[in-house]
Structure 1
Amino acid sequence: MVQERNAVRLLVTLEDIDPPIWRRLVLPSTWTFDRLHLVLQAAFSWTDSHLHEFHIGGLRYGNPELLDIGFGTATTFDYRTVRMADFIDRDIAFTYVYDFGDNWRHRVVLEDILALDPLPRHAECLEGARAGPPDDVGGPWSYAEFIETLQDAEHEDHESNLRWAGGHFDPEWFDLALINKDIRNSFRANVRRRWHQPKPLIGKSSKHGD
């Protein structure tokens, strides 16, 4: 008996950032896009504190109760009713937008359709590179300036930006185990989202992706 294809592998990359910030994820194909949203929030260490939507084939997918009031005239299709499986027969890439002010755009590429036995209960990050930017840092171009100020102790914004980052921020940080822990917790009610990177122990280096 041939195992049914029941999962998807996605490559997700933040646009307009160099060197790239990316994650490779596997999740059940029957999951709806509101669940994918929560996985992406955890994978990039976002805090789910802003509006968001998906752009797929020229259409908008999100929560119509939030997005059809004052955020454009195009109809928003309810992402709670649309599954990844509805798109797996297509060669598809789409966009996930988080925070309409900072305009963080994630390019999501459907790399493969998998037959997993057993099907994992949770999504999983297989690999990735670099830390997700802090929330409210201002978008890709402001993020570049933010990194510059952290690297220059004499910059007038150095101390304030360091405090904003929780006292420590390494743009090369990537801890696969911790990110997967965040992903596993992403569907829990009243989950406390991690706002900042863990500070490295004295004498220990941060874990880096490639």
Structure 2
Amino acid sequence: MARPRVTAKSKIFRIEIVLVDVEPTVRRVIEVPGEASLAALHEVLQESMGWTNSHLHEFEVDHARYGPLDPDADEDLLDGARTKLFRVLAAGDDAGYVYDFGDNWHHLLVVEAVSVPEPGVRYPRCVDGQGACPPENVGGTFGYPKFLDALADPDHADHADRVEWWGSDRFDPHHFDLDATNQALARLAWTPLSGSSSTSRS
């Protein structure tokens, strides 16, 4: 399937994403074309945060809910695949994004700016971030700090169980690798606006 194309008419949304009620802070700043659907934005969020896209998700924008449609789901859910980013958000707006209705990870999205695309730059891309994504199925904001405490303390009653579950006694909650994040996003790259830029990424 042909890649979507960034054009001179495209608008680039710079969006800050913060994982709510998680310490240390898990934060990303991404840039994505406004013509992207919310379903496509979901994929960008998964790759930029470090999730594995193994669970359901939902956006909330101005009290409306968007996600993948399911005949058995509630009728109030709107189709994220048919909803373009630029039609529901603008600079200064915010939105909610929930991933995994079991662990219930809440993300706050804030549109920091809307700008014109840079020639040669591959979007979507991540331009800033901090903190490691929690492991999948760790128990949400309640289980994550318990996981960190148990893993870091060999004398903790749950240390051995946590090490066995995780497969290691190593996990750095402060770790963030911008280059690795953009490598993960490369599979979602749109064809860039023609031209060159000193800030372009391969």
2:4 alignment counterpart: none
CA distance in 2, matches of 1:112, 1:35: 19
Compute the RMSD of aligned alpha carbons: 1.9
Q: How far has the Cα of 1:85 moved from its partner? A: 1.2
Say which is worse superposed, 167-176 or 95-104, in terms of deviation: 167-176
Structure 1 residue 116 displacement after superposition: 1.4
Cross-structure match for 2:33 = 28
In the TM superposition, residue 156 of structure 1 has moved relative to its aligned partner by 2.6
Cα distance in 2 between the residues matched to 1:78 and 1:23: 25
Q: Which residue number in structure 2 is paired with residue 50 of structure 1?
A: 55
**1:115 and 1:186, CA in 2 relative to 1: closer, same or farther beyond 3 A?**
closer
Give the match for residue 201 of structure 1: none
Do the aligned partners of residues 122 and 17 (structure 1) sit closer, same or farther apart at CA in structure 2, a change above 3 Å counting? same
Give the aligned residue type for 2:164: R
CA displacement at 1:118 relative to structure 2: 2.1
Structure 2 Cα separation of the partners of residues 119 and 8 of structure 1:
17
Distance 1:88 1:5, change over 3 A: farther
Mean alpha-carbon deviation: is it higher for 151-160 or for 109-118? Answer: 151-160
**Counterpart amino acid of 2:133?**
G
Query: Partner of 1:46: helix, strand, or coil?
Result: coil
Do residues 59 (structure 1) and 84 (structure 2) align? no
Q: Distance in 2 between matches of 1:28 and 1:182?
A: 17
Q: Is the 8 A contact 1:88 1:113 kept in 2?
A: no
Q: What is the CA-CA distance between 1:90 and the residue it aligns to?
A: 5.9
Structure 1 residues 41-100: Cα deviation after superposition (integer angstroms, max 9, x where no partner): 1111111111101011111100112xx525xx4511100011111134463101010000
| Matching residue of 1:110 | 111
Unaligned ranges ≥5, structure 2: 1-7, 190-202
1:151 is displaced (CA, Å) by 1.1
Contact 2:105/2:140 (CA < 8 Å) preserved in 1? yes
* SS of equivalent to 1:97: strand
User: Where in structure 2 are the equivalents of 1:89-100 lying within 5 Å?
Assistant: 89=90, 91-100=92-101
Percent sequence identity over aligned pairs: 34
Conserved in 2, the CA contact under 8 Å of 1:10 and 1:112?
yes
Q: What TM-score do the two structures reach when normalised by structure 1?
A: 0.80
SS at match of 1:110: strand
Contact 1:162 1:169 in 2 (8 A): no
The one-letter amino acid of 1:43's match is S
